[in-house]
């Protein structure tokens, strides 16, 4: 089995900093497992590693698609697997760093396969989204697939549409497909979790939002508009960007949007912490010390 190292944890827990230090020590490279950092032009709001940090250690799967494109766990597994094999052939142990737990789970445990679904289902759902709103579709998802609905945010448009698409198109909830999937892991993973107490984590998130604004987050969003992207672009529907759209549409004040962005980030972190509690880690790092299993 091919050895890999994963560094996981909630947003703002310090994963990237640890990954860079570890990759430098091991003379290896980093594979990003972040569903937002795949987007070009989304730098500040995704807390993407800087160009200077990327010069220190080569990072993969960052800046690989445009904001009007989509990316998913299946694409990540395919892309990451090729990079892992290349690094392994060079005698390097890949460091996989990111907070998108589903990506790492799919890589380590395998993905189930689905038959092609009729495009009309997705088109119909998008039309219903415009007419009925996201809340109505989320309510339907809770009825069709409560287990999956519980794991995602009621504001996660992409996953809500995907959950409904699979449930409607196959007649089987997405969560049930997951339960039936067979493990096909070909990696020997040493998994590291950064576990920050919730109060400290929330404080870090609040400080990060302020820092992003100081670094020019609003100008970054304006640049996305100038490039031709809008509220229907998946990139601008990402956490950390969508909360500010009402400000640009003059539907809400800036302070209101800042508070909402921080709240959504804290809610996301809470779901991440819950997710990681179910995982099996070889090393847990927290301010109080290091625990090995």
What lies within 8 Å, CB to CB, of 3 at 6+ separation is 88, 93, 187, 188, 189, 190
**Thinking of the domain 199-269, which architecture would CATH place it in?**
Orthogonal Bundle (1.10)
* Cα angle 8, 11, 16; round to 5: 60
Do 2-111+185-196+279-292 and 199-269 show the same overall fold? no
Number of H helices, E strands in the chain: 13, 7
What lies within 8 Å, CB to CB, of 9 at 6+ separation is 15, 99, 193, 194, 195, 196, 272, 276
Domain boundaries, the chain: 2-111+185-196+279-292, 119-179, 199-269
Identify which of 9, 18, 37, 10 has the alpha carbon closest to the alpha carbon of residue 205: 10
Q: Give the confidence band of 287 by pLDDT, cuts at 50, 70, 90.
A: confident
Whether pLDDT at 39 is above 60: yes
Q: Write out the DSSP string of 112-175.
A: ---PPPPHHHHHHHHHHHHHH-HHHHHHHHHHH-HHHHHHS-TT-HHHHHHHHHHHHHHSS-HH
**Would you state the pLDDT for residue 293?**
43
Identify which of 5, 15, 66 has the alpha carbon closest to the alpha carbon of residue 272: 15
Q: Give this prediction's pTM.
A: 0.78
Coil, helix or strand for 59? strand
Whether pLDDT at 27 is above 60: yes
**Would you state the pLDDT for residue 86?**
98
Q: Residue with structure tokens 């997710």? A: 275
**Would you state the pLDDT for residue 151?**
85
CB atoms within 10 A of CB 28: 20
What integer best gives the mean pLDDT of the chain?
93
Whether pLDDT at 181 is above 80: no
Whether pLDDT at 174 is above 60: yes
Please state whether beta strands 187-194 and 2-9 pair in parallel, antiparallel, or not at all (unpaired).
Answer: parallel
For 190-207, what is the mean pLDDT? 95
Domain topology for 2-111+185-196+279-292 = Rossmann fold (3.40.50)
pLDDT digit string, tens, across residues 257-277? 999 999 999 999 999 999 898
CB atoms within 10 A of CB 214: 9
What lies within 8 Å, CB to CB, of 275 at 6+ separation is 101, 151
Whether pLDDT at 152 is above 80: yes
Whether pLDDT at 288 is above 70: no
**Would you state the pLDDT for residue 109?**
85
What's the CATH number for 119-179?
1.10.20.140
Q: Are 94 and 83 in contact (CB under 8 A)?
A: yes
pLDDT digit string, tens, across residues 84-114? 999 999 999 999 999 999 999 999 988 767 7
- How far apart CA 32 and CA 209 sit, in angstroms, is 21
Whether pLDDT at 171 is above 80: yes
């Amino acid at each position: 089995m091919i050895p890999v190292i994963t560094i996981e944890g909630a947003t703002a827990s310090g994963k990237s900093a640890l990954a860079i230090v570890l990759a430098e020590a091991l003379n290896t490279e980093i594979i990003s497992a972040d569903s937002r950092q795949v987007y070009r032009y989304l730098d500040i709001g995704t807390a993407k590693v800087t160009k200077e940090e990327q010069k220190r250690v080569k990072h993969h799967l960052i800046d690989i698609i445009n904001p009007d494109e989509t990316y998913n766990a299946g694409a990540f597994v395919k892309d990451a697997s090729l990079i892992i094999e290349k690094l392994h052939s060079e005698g390097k142990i890949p460091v996989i760093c990111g907070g998108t737990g589903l990506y790492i789970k799919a890589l380590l445990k395998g993905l189930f396969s689905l038959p092609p679904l009729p495009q009309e289902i997705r088109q119909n759902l998008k039309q219903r989204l415009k007419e009925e709103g996201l809340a109505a579709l989320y309510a339907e998802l809770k009825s069709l697939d409560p287990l999956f609905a519980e794991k995602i945010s009621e504001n996660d448009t992409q996953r809500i549409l995907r959950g409904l698409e699979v449930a409607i198109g196959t007649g089987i909830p997405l969560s049930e497909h997951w339960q039936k999937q067979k493990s096909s892991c070909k990696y020997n993973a040493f998994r590291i979790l950064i576990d920050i107490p919730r109060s400290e984590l929330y404080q870090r998130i609040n400080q990060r939002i302020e820092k992003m604004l100081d670094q020019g987050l609003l100008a970054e969003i304006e640049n996305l508009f100038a490039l031709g992207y809008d509220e229907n672009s998946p990139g601008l529907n990402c956490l950390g960007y969508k909360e500010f759209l009402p400000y640009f549409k003059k539907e809400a004040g800036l302070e209101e949007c800042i508070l909402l962005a921080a709240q959504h980030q804290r809610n996301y972190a809470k779901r991440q912490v819950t997710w990681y509690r179910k995982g099996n880690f070889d090393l847990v790092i927290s301010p109080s010390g290091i625990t090995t299993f």
